[in-house]
Amino acid sequence: MKLLFQNKALFSTDVKGPMHSHHFWQLDYYEGVSLCHVNIEGGSGRMLNADGKTLILIAPYTPHLISTLGNCVCYALKFETEENAFPGVDSCLIKYDDYSWIFERLFNAINPRNELEKNISEHLLSILMLELRKSKGFHSSGGYRMEPRIRNAIEYMSKNMLLELSPASIASVVNISVTHFTRLFRKQTGMSPMHYLRKLKMGRASKMLKFSDFNISQVAEMLHYPDIHTFSRAFKMEKGVSPRAYRESEKTCSNEDGKRID
In terms of domains, do 124 and 19 share one? Answer: yes
Taking residues 121-127, what's their average pLDDT? 93
How far apart are the C-alpha atoms of 204 and 215, rounded to whole Å? 14
Instruction: Look at residue 259 and tell me if it is in a domain.
Output: no
Among 135, 167, 187, residue at a domain's last position: 135
In terms of domains, do 122 and 208 share one? Answer: no
Instruction: Look at residue 238 and tell me if it is in a domain.
Output: yes
Q: Looking at residue 7, which CATH number applies to its domain?
A: 2.60.120.280
Q: Tell me what pLDDT residue 254 has.
A: 56
In terms of domains, do 89 and 153 share one? Answer: no
Q: Tell me what pLDDT residue 259 has.
A: 47
Q: Each residue of 21-36: b (16+ CB within 10 Å) or e?
A: eeebbbbbbbbebbbb
Instruction: Look at residue 247 and tell me if it is in a domain.
Output: yes
In terms of domains, do 207 and 241 share one? Answer: yes
Number of domains making up the chain: 2
Q: What is the pLDDT of residues 143-199, one digit of tens each?
A: 445 677 887 888 888 889 899 999 999 999 999 999 999 998 888 777 899 988 998
Instruction: Look at residue 19 and tell me if it is in a domain.
Output: yes
In terms of domains, do 158 and 128 share one? Answer: no
Domain, as residue range, for 196: 148-254
Q: Considering the entire predicted model, what is its pTM?
A: 0.57
